[in-house]
Amino acid sequence: MASSSTAVGSTSNNPPPSCGKRITILCIDGGGVRGLIPAKIIEFLEKQLQDLDGGEARIADYFDVISGTSTGGLIATMLAAPGENNKPLFAAKDIADFYLQNSDKIFPQHRAGFLNPALNQLDAFTGPRYDGKFLHSKIRELLGDKKLSQTLTNVVIPTFDIKLLQPIFFSSFETQDIPLKNALLSDICIGTSAAPTYLPGHYFETRDGQGNTRSFNLIDGGVAANNPTLVAMNQVTKQILKSNKDFESYKPVDYSHFLVISIGTGSAKQEERYSAQESARWGLLGWLNNRGKTPIVDIFTQASSDMVDIHASVVFQALESEGQYLRIQDDTLTDVAASVDNSTKENLNNLVRIGENLLEKPVSRVNLETGKSEPVVDGKGGTMSNKERLVQFAQKLSNERKHRHENLASSA
Buried-exposed string 364-376: b where 16+ CB fall within 10 A, e elsewhere: bbbeeeeeebeeb
Catalytic status, residue 304: no
Name the catalytic one among 64, 220, 246, 331: 220
User: Is 94 annotated as catalytic?
Assistant: no
Question: 154-161 and 65-68 as β-strands: parallel, antiparallel, unpaired?
Answer: parallel
Buried-state track 20-53, b at ≥16 Cβ within 10 A, e below 16: bebbbbbbbbbbbbbbbbbbbbbbbbbbbbbebb
Residue 293 one-letter amino acid: K
For strand 213-220 and strand 202-207, is the pairing parallel, antiparallel, or unpaired? antiparallel
* 3-class DSSP string for the chain: CCCCCCCCCHHHCCCCHHHCCCEEEEEECCCHHHHHHHHHHHHHHHHHHHHHHCCCCCHHHCCCEEEECCHHHHHHHHHHCECHHHCECCCHHHHHHHHHHHHHHHCCCCCCCCCHHHHHHHHHHHCCCCCCHHHHHHHHHHHCCCEHHHCCCEEEEEEEECCCCEEEEEEHHHCCCCHHHCCEHHHHHHHHCCCCCCCCCEEEEEECCCCCEEEEEEEECHHHHCCCHHHHHHHHHHHHHCCCHHHCCCCCCCHHHEEEEEECCCCCHHHCCCCHHHHCCCCHHHHHCECCECHHHHHHHHHHHHHHHHHHHHHHHHCCCHHHEEEECCCCCCCCCCCCCCCCHHHHHHHHHHHHHHCCCECEEECCCCCCEEECCCCCCCCCEHHHHHHHHHHHHHHHHHHHHHHHHHHC
Give φ, ψ of 220 to 5 degrees.
-50, 130
Cβ atoms 63, 109 nearer than 8 A: no
Query: Could you say which of 70, 103, 171, 186 is catalytic?
Result: 70
Q: Work out the number of other CB atoms within 10 angstroms of the CB of residue 381.
A: 6
User: Which residues are known to be catalytic?
Assistant: 70, 220
